[in-house]
Structure 1
Amino acid sequence: MSETDELVFETALDAPPEMVWRALTIPEYIERWLQKPADTQLDIVASDENKSLTYRWRDPGQGAAADPQESLVTFELTPQADGGTWFRLTHAPVAVPVAANNNERAGPAMLLAA
């Protein structure tokens, strides 16, 4: 994964971090504003109350043989002097390592002697 694969959105919100946190962690609230497809799965992988929260976002693959797609969605909340919140959302695909014995990898072929 590289930084160019990430989608980053930042904005100032007119609500304290505690209120934004509630919107990110109460299922009924997050379902309402995220509007994720019904077959998408969200799982919390990291949280620091009122500061940051990371979800693993899993979309089913397209077509019969397609692999599911995974990404990490991180919300960062920074309190502002005016009582609001600086909100940063980062959506980054999960990099899946390529197996060393993958025949499709680029580069010269390697032979091992027994």
Structure 2
Amino acid sequence: MSVQLPDEKPEALVFKYTLEVSPQKLWRALTIREFRARWLPDLAESEPEEEATILEKQISYKMREKVPPFLETQVTFRIADNDDGTAMLTIIHQLTDARIRQQRDAANSNHVPMMMAA
């Protein structure tokens, strides 16, 4: 078990599932909008933009929250074949919003802000 310090931020949330469907059927569920809306209603509501695809193996969607602060994330679905004909689904959810990645000085850093001269 690893311990995460309070100031550390995880790079991504990773979930792995073994599903009793063929990888081809799972691929269709992830890539056809009508199927995706039934299977993943929250993703469908976010009006995702498709970002990257490796045919029948991986698809990524860029999403934006519908409520403030409207953060942007990337959700990647990876499909692998299991020996018994089932599919292994790996979901990687990563916060990609540039506003979160900005480093800010602490309020008590004793750092005097200076403006750059023209």
Question: Normalising by the residue count of structure 1, what TM-score does the alignment of the two structures yield?
Answer: 0.76
Alignment of 1:25 with 2:31, yes or no, is: yes
TM-score normalised by length of structure 2: 0.74
Q: Which residue of 1 aligns with 2:54?
A: 48
Larger strand proportion of the pair: 1
Query: Gaps spanning 5+ residues in structure 1: where?
Result: 100-104
- C-alpha change, 1:18 and 1:94, in structure 2 (3 Å) is same
Q: Indicate yes or no: 2:70 matched with 1:60.
A: no
Q: Check whether the contact 1:56–1:70 (CA below 8 A) recurs between aligned residues.
A: yes
In structure 2, relative to structure 1, the CA distance for the partners of 1:58 and 1:8 (3 Å cut) is same
Shift of 1:15: 1.7
Describe how 1:1-114 pairs up with structure 2 within 5 A: 4-36=10-42, 40-62=46-68, 67-96=69-98, 97-98=101-102, 105-106=104-105, 108=111, 109-114=113-118
Question: For the Cα contact (< 8 Å) 2:74–2:94, is it kept in 1?
Answer: yes
Computed over aligned residues only, the root mean square deviation of the Cα atoms, in angstroms, reads: 2.5
Identity %: 30
